[in-house]
Structure 1
């Protein structure tokens, strides 16, 4: 593990950019960027276009370590290069931004009010390649829709079980049990989730550390104690479908939490923009998300 990167993620001022749209969500991400599905003929073309989009973001003068601590990558992004360097190396060596990797393979069907992760059959191979590519940590997402205690327990159990394998590989796992923002009982889901996470954190050894990526809680500062737990490197939050303005407003109410936004970061970017227009739109997004992450009410 890179101790300089660990210190930056744990103590730095800023946020984490989520650039990890995968196969299932890539067409939507490209469409929102102004690239319709009839612009590409196959999956290879699609992934090249989305890598071009991510390259444009990462190489922009608005994308700097002054405000951005880390960036989460999709597996194909990790294996591609930017200006002759693997993406993770470019991020760290040229930008001073810590690279993470999304490792989950998507969601299973809903059961007991939640969606567990699909099996990650090639996890060890992926973690091996991630280490070779100088990745610092990983991210994996589950979804919670109802306050079903057994369902939420299953989500957190699965996340921490896989998380321990990631820790054993020398990486820091981002545990992401997302609570759907449209859940009619979102506050109850979040209370159960918090308690389940605490149970697992208290069982970790001093050598086992994790990050958490959570939905912004309905009750401000519900997760404050999680941010102070000795086994937690950092707690970040996703925008989860909120607009950037609403996500930023809610984030400002929560001490100790920083952003890890995806759609809220890139929503105003478009393939047709000039370099000046693109960089200005990205800078506005970065500035406002940074402000919400470091300046609290």
Structure 2
């Protein structure tokens, strides 16, 4: 299975759907979907509702392997079921979509112009469970807000240190050092980031594949060397707060870079829509993101 999934992720035509909002971002995601905070009480009810929201996405006829290579799940989603199957098994067995898991525990306070990942002492246990749930790869996010060489080096060092732990567990890590799209020196941050990433990629061993998830660069095709690097399975792009239209437009200008959108994927979807309207809008959204990804 791993070999077949690796082939899909590495060479498939399409994009990766990010369905991995966690506790902090879930109320906002539900609100955008038309579910207000006063319509549920407590985390349990909130996560039940968000699972219903995600189930509606993944069971939609529009959500299929013609356009979607993989889907990134939140830990709770991995442990819940869709149509009687654990979500990762549903994605792979019913849809042919490769399952990934978000494994970070959120962001630390900003220092040196960046936010590192919080400590994650339970990671080995989570990776063990991910293997039991037939997860292919993982995702973990840090954020770069300023072009601070020391801060950016710390971000990339931490990402690859944790990435090696994930590789050792038999999974493929998506390394995600997001550059804030509103950063005043975004282009400079991307120059520093690319160099740090190349330094680490060049040191990886033969059987240490990684994926990268990056903000769409300010300079078109700036990440070409990363996309073509032999240790990189795929480079995917986050929407980073851009509207879907803007994210698609920027992605189109970057050949070989594919989408891994969250907010831009679900933009406009609402709990109150009929299945017909909902599926039509999701289909249009997926089509546009797919077309931008294969450019």
TM-score, length of structure 2 as denominator length: 0.99
Structure 2 match to 1:207: 207
Aligned residues: 295
Task: Map Cα deviations across residues 256-293 of structure 1 (whole Å, 9 max, x no partner).
Answer: 10000000000110000010011011001000000000
Structure 1 match to 2:29: 29
Unaligned 5+ segments in structure 1 are: none
Structure 1 match to 2:172: 172
Q: CA RMSD in A?
A: 0.5
Task: Map Cα deviations across residues 182-211 of structure 1 (whole Å, 9 max, x no partner).
Answer: 000000000000000000000100110100
CA positional deviation for 1:121: 1.5
Structure 2 match to 1:272: 272
Structure 1 match to 2:45: 45
SS of the aligned residue for 2:177 comes to strand
Q: Distance in 1 between matches of 2:93 and 2:74?
A: 19
Task: Map Cα deviations across residues 162-196 of structure 1 (whole Å, 9 max, x no partner).
Answer: 00000000000000000000000000000000000
Structure 2 match to 1:224: 224
Q: Distance in 2 between matches of 1:267 and 1:290?
A: 15
Matched, 1:6 2:6: yes
Structure 2 match to 1:107: 107
Structure 1 match to 2:288: 288
Task: Map Cα deviations across residues 22-73 of structure 1 (whole Å, 9 max, x no partner).
Answer: 0000000000000000111110000000000000000000000000000000
Structure 2 match to 1:243: 243
| Residues 255-266 of structure 1 mapped to structure 2, 5 A cutoff | 255-266=255-266
SS of the aligned residue for 1:100 comes to strand
| Residues 139-218 of structure 1 mapped to structure 2, 5 A cutoff | 139-218=139-218
Structure 2 match to 1:125: 125
CA positional deviation for 1:218: 0.2
Q: Distance in 1 between matches of 2:6 and 2:39?
A: 40
SS of the aligned residue for 1:139 comes to strand
Q: Distance in 1 between matches of 2:16 and 2:39?
A: 30
Structure 2 match to 1:15: 15
After TM superposition, which residue ranges in structure 1, 4 or more long, deviate above 2 angstroms?
none
